A and B are shown apart, each in its own frame.
Chain A
Amino acid sequence: MSSKWLKIIILSILLIALTSSISGCAYKGVDKRSFVLGIGVDPPKDPGNKFRVTLKIAKPIPSLKSSTENEYAYLVHESESVAETIRFLETQDDKVMDFSQTKILALNEDLLHGDLFSLMDYFVRRGDLQLVLYVLVAKPSAEDVLRVQPPLESAGENTLYNYFDRTGTESPFVTTTFLFEFRRDYDTKGQSSVLPIVEANEEGTQFTVNHSIVLKNSVEPVVLTPTDTKLYNSLMREAAGYGYKIDNDGYKFTLAMDRVKMKYKIDVKNGEKPRAIISIKAVGVISESNKLLKLKELDHYSKLSGEQFSEQVKDLFIHLQEKNVDPFGFGLKYRATRLNTKDTLDNWKAIYPELEFDVKVDMQLKSVGAME
């Protein structure tokens, strides 16, 4: 046997022997990791610290059939920064903390005033935290929201994920915002980010997700009512099944929307007031009415609904304009469609408070929802 073969054989024996001693490096068995499913950030109870961080850690499920409900462990600590807190919490866990499955980042409402970049920095920078995790605003506190154990939650399931990943509920009241989206919109000039507000009840058994909050650096947060949240979701996120009340000309309808699509452009002409021309196409059916409806009159009902719908939309736009936030991205659109000079942004800041909204709704009702 030549020495070349001898070398190869010795090398392969060495390699195999080395593999059996693997324990450091990146090799870490799945049973030696503890998976963090959610991170909650609250203001500290002790004023000397800056943050109070809660980690929700899942226990592995040995058998789905025999376990009836999920079991979680919660680790809480307060300190100067998020990174420091998590480093401390790692000493309370015998296994390696794995953030790769973390999908929930709950932020306490009280933390949202002022600059959020220092808070976000750790989550965006850390490599194993995925940027597609869901960011939400927690009420009354992030810890309470993470500790909620809904009776409907079965083993191997996570209720909060179901809300946001659209595999479960597809309610138009729920806004889904990923971490990358949140940061991008927060940072982009001419756009504001929107986060869902998750409320836990006092018993810790239930969530309510129907508010949302508009955030922008240096501006006070604006809380949207459920109706506004719904409107925002159907216009920007194309949420379906959107129920909308009409009260016009003696008719009282509730519409179920199949499709809502919004297009807009910013029209700035010299000597005239700047205008945003918004055209909305909405397709749906009438699902409830106070009067007997005729199929022949469908166009009339569409017109009635369209008028009222455009008013509602306009009210929302004006409300947001007054608060100086821009979740619909009018400013971004303006910046994107104008020649970029160093004045573009300043121009927009001057234009936005005076912007007039010109809303046209093309409402297409497909049926009155019942046979004549």
Chain B
Amino acid sequence: MTESKKPEMPPFMKLISEALPSSFDVLHVPLTLDDAHVHLLYMKTVVDGLTMQQSIIKPFYELDDEQKYGAYIQGLPNRLDPPQPDEILIMLTSGFVLVYADSTYSILEIRKLGNTLQGPTIAETTIHGPQLSLSEDLETNVSIVRQHYHQPNLYVETQQLNDKSNMSIALLYDEKEVNVDVLRRVKEKLDGLDEPLIQSAGELAVRLTSRRFTLFPTSIITERPDRIVYNLTGGKIILLVDNSPYAIVLPVIFFDFMVSMEENYHTYLISLYNTLLGWFGLLNCLLLPSMYVAFTAYSPEVLRTELTLTMAGSRIGVPYPSFMEVIIMLFFVELLTEASVRLPRSINAAATTVGGLILGTAATEASLASNVLIMIIAIVAISTFVIPMNELGFAVRIGRLFLILLTTLFGLVGLISGSLLLIIHLTNQDSFGEPYLRIGWRSKRSEKMVNSE
């Protein structure tokens, strides 16, 4: 807009440029050498200036002929025929350049790449296995997946969301393995998205599920390339989102959440042991607080006499009934967990120490909670972190409150029927048509598509 229009703009480009806002970074650059005239229209902030200089501007002056330059532009690998004007507008905002040369319009992709740096894995760390997570750039991420998975059947479909962000997303799947029904459903969901703004993979994953009040997630969000590849071979669909270091894995069943990638890097017995630890942690964290309520308030006969007496002794002077005690202490621990997530890493340890150690001791000293309960809460807090996927951890944290409520009302019977209700809820759920509690009776070998010889 700010440019003077000495060589007049071709009419179509003029149309486009008038539709664009008068922003400082919208540039119209006419290139003129002798008789040759070429027009470029782009947005400075999203276009990679160096590449443009190298591949568009410099050849123009070198070739010195409009026809030859036109042919050169036609031959560029990143060239597209211009689509509808409104689509061109969106493309311009995401790093495309509209070129008018030799009386043809071309649209070239010269995007300035986002954050292509692969950070270390944060959410799911393993000791063995890849240490780098995805980057924040879509193309880089696709290339990372391709580099982990050299298969011609790996299909990558790109698409843009219809919301204000117009974010590009990529749909990756192994064409041989993928469940076509699920793929169709996912595509329908993506097309039918009706959200004003979606900014991250997590948000997209939430919007893709039809039920609003579901406790358990129907997709995995992961940052690990090895998990992506592991799931690709299992016939799952991967959604990569631009500007997000996370990928969405669809469809998932409950048991997918209990797989830690670490398990693939150890011998059978060790990984079995790890898996069992994970399950033990899950049950601990779900059931232990309610079991405490059930045993102290309803059925002390389940425990050994010695334990009953020490439990009764440790509750001496605690003014609240045991379920209040449990809820209060659990609430503290939830606060502590949340605080340690929000805090910068440098003061993280201090918060945990103050919260965990000092608060725990002080609570028993002040007779606000029994010793046994403090121990149970600590076990529960640790167990939460043993669950391989964070998202399941969140679901379990809410699920156990539900169990505590039922146990408080109905004792052990309540605990049992509450667990039953949870299982019924899980059975009732599905992830893109895949039953949520389906047990995949397949060996790891066949899952990885290794031919057994």
Whether the Cβ atoms of B310 and A61 lie closer than 8 Å is: yes
Q: Which residues of A contact B322 (CB under 8 A)?
A: 29-30
20 more A-B residue pairs beyond the given contacts A27-B411, A30-B312, with a C-beta to C-beta distance below 8 A: A19-B405, A19-B408, A20-B324, A26-B411, A29-B322, A30-B308, A30-B322, A31-B315, A33-B300, A33-B312, A35-B305, A35-B309, A61-B312, A62-B316, A64-B310, A98-B301, A101-B301, A156-B309, A156-B310, A157-B306
Q: Which residues of A contact B363 (CB under 8 A)?
A: none
Q: Which residues of B contact A58 (CB under 8 A)?
A: 305, 309
| B301: contacting residue among A15, A128, A156, CB under 8 A | A128
CB distance from B89 to the nearest CB of A (A): 39
Q: Indicate if B170 sits at the interface (CB-CB under 8 A).
A: no
Q: Indicate if B192 sits at the interface (CB-CB under 8 A).
A: no
CB distance from A291 to the nearest CB of B (A): 49
Q: Which residues of B contact A158 (CB under 8 A)?
A: 305
Q: Indicate if B323 sits at the interface (CB-CB under 8 A).
A: yes
Whether the Cβ atoms of A27 and B408 lie closer than 8 Å is: yes
Across chains A and B, the number of contacting residue pairs, with CB separation under 8 Å, is: 81
Q: How far is the CA of A58 from the CA of B313 in the complex (A)?
A: 11
Q: Indicate if B297 sits at the interface (CB-CB under 8 A).
A: yes
Whether the Cβ atoms of A61 and B321 lie closer than 8 Å is: no
Closest to B307 in A: A156
B residues 210-263 touching A (CB-CB < 8 Å): none
Q: Which residues of A contact B45 (CB under 8 A)?
A: none
Whether the Cβ atoms of A27 and B313 lie closer than 8 Å is: no
Q: Which residues of A contact B311 (CB under 8 A)?
A: 30
Q: How far is the CA of A63 from the CA of B316 in the complex (A)?
A: 10
Q: Which residues of A contact B74 (CB under 8 A)?
A: none
| A62: contacting residue among B295, B297, B298, B314, CB under 8 A | B314
CB distance from A206 to the nearest CB of B (A): 22
CB distance from A18 to the nearest CB of B (A): 8
Q: Which residues of B contact A63 (CB under 8 A)?
A: 313
Q: Indicate if A279 sits at the interface (CB-CB under 8 A).
A: no
Q: Chain B 394-432 against A: per-residue CB contact (8 Å), 1 yes, 0 no? A: 000000000001001101000000000000000000000
CB distance from B309 to the nearest CB of A (A): 5
8 examples of A-B residue contacts, CB within 8 angstroms: A19-B323, A29-B297, A30-B295, A31-B315, A31-B318, A100-B300, A100-B301, A156-B310
Seen from chain B, the residues whose Cβ lies within 8 Å of a Cβ on chain A are: 295-301, 305-306, 308-316, 318, 321-324, 405, 408-409, 411
Closest to B410 in A: A26
| A26: contacting residue among B298, B314, B405, CB under 8 A | B298
Q: Please, how many residues of chain A have a CB less than 8 angstroms from a CB on the other chain? A: 30
Give the dominant DSSP class at B's interface.
helix
CB distance from B138 to the nearest CB of A (A): 39
| A37: contacting residue among B305, B313, B408, CB under 8 A | B305
Q: How far is the CA of A156 from the CA of B307 in the complex (A)?
A: 8
A30-B408 contact, Cβ under 8 Å, with A62-B313, A63-B313: no
Closest to B325 in A: A29
Closest to A128 in B: B301
CB distance from B219 to the nearest CB of A (A): 26
Q: How far is the CA of A128 from the CA of B298 in the complex (A)?
A: 12
Q: Which residues of A contact B405 (CB under 8 A)?
A: 15-16, 19
Whether the Cβ atoms of B309 and A27 lie closer than 8 Å is: no
Q: Which residues of B contact A130 (CB under 8 A)?
A: 301
Q: How far is the CA of A37 from the CA of B312 in the complex (A)?
A: 14
Whether the Cβ atoms of A101 and B313 lie closer than 8 Å is: no
* Ranked 5 nearest A-B pairs via Cβ: A100-B301, A60-B312, A60-B313, A61-B313, A31-B315
Closest to A23 in B: B321
Q: Which residues of B contact A28 (CB under 8 A)?
A: 297-298
CB distance from B87 to the nearest CB of A (A): 40
Most chain B beta-carbon neighbours within 10 Å: one of A27, A37, A156: A27
Whether the Cβ atoms of A101 and B308 lie closer than 8 Å is: yes
Q: Chain A 100-132 against B: per-residue CB contact (8 Å), 1 yes, 0 no? A: 110100000000000000000000000010100
Q: Indicate if A6 sits at the interface (CB-CB under 8 A).
A: no
Q: How far is the CA of A62 from the CA of B305 in the complex (A)?
A: 14
Whether the Cβ atoms of B316 and A103 lie closer than 8 Å is: no
Q: Which residues of A contact B409 (CB under 8 A)?
A: 15, 19, 22
Whether the Cβ atoms of B306 and A156 lie closer than 8 Å is: yes
| B321: contacting residue among A22, A62, A98, CB under 8 A | A22
Q: Which residues of B contact A29 (CB under 8 A)?
A: 296-297, 315, 321-322
Q: Indicate if A161 sits at the interface (CB-CB under 8 A).
A: yes
Whether the Cβ atoms of A30 and B301 lie closer than 8 Å is: no
Q: How far is the CA of A58 from the CA of B311 in the complex (A)?
A: 13
A residues 33-62 touching B (CB-CB < 8 Å): 33, 35, 37, 58, 60-62
Q: Chain A 221-233 against B: per-residue CB contact (8 Å), 1 yes, 0 no? A: 0000000000000
Whether the Cβ atoms of A61 and B309 lie closer than 8 Å is: yes
CB distance from B298 to the nearest CB of A (A): 6
| B312: contacting residue among A16, A19, A35, CB under 8 A | A35
CB distance from B329 to the nearest CB of A (A): 16
A103-B305 contact, Cβ under 8 Å, with A26-B411, A63-B313: yes
Q: Which residues of B contact A161 (CB under 8 A)?
A: 305
Q: Chain A 44-86 against B: per-residue CB contact (8 Å), 1 yes, 0 no? A: 0000000000000010111110000000000000000000000
Closest to A28 in B: B297
Closest to B306 in A: A156
Q: Which residues of A contact B318 (CB under 8 A)?
A: 31
Closest to B308 in A: A101
Closest to B408 in A: A19
CB distance from A111 to the nearest CB of B (A): 26
Closest to A103 in B: B305
CB distance from B148 to the nearest CB of A (A): 46
CB distance from B113 to the nearest CB of A (A): 45
Q: How far is the CA of A339 from the CA of B105 in the complex (A)?
A: 105
Q: How far is the CA of A29 from the CA of B324 in the complex (A)?
A: 11
Closest to A157 in B: B306
Q: Which residues of B contact A26 (CB under 8 A)?
A: 298, 411
Q: How far is the CA of A62 from the CA of B306 in the complex (A)?
A: 12
Closest to B413 in A: A26
Q: How far is the CA of A20 from the CA of B321 in the complex (A)?
A: 9
A30-B305 contact, Cβ under 8 Å, with A20-B324, A60-B313: no
Q: How far is the CA of A292 from the CA of B310 in the complex (A)?
A: 55
Q: Chain A 255-283 against B: per-residue CB contact (8 Å), 1 yes, 0 no? A: 00000000000000000000000000000
Q: Chain A 2-33 against B: per-residue CB contact (8 Å), 1 yes, 0 no? A: 00000000000001100110100011111101
Q: How far is the CA of A26 from the CA of B412 in the complex (A)?
A: 11
Most chain A beta-carbon neighbours within 10 Å: one of B298, B308, B313: B313
Q: Which residues of B contact A61 (CB under 8 A)?
A: 309-310, 312-313
Q: Which residues of A contact B305 (CB under 8 A)?
A: 35, 37, 58, 101, 103, 158, 161
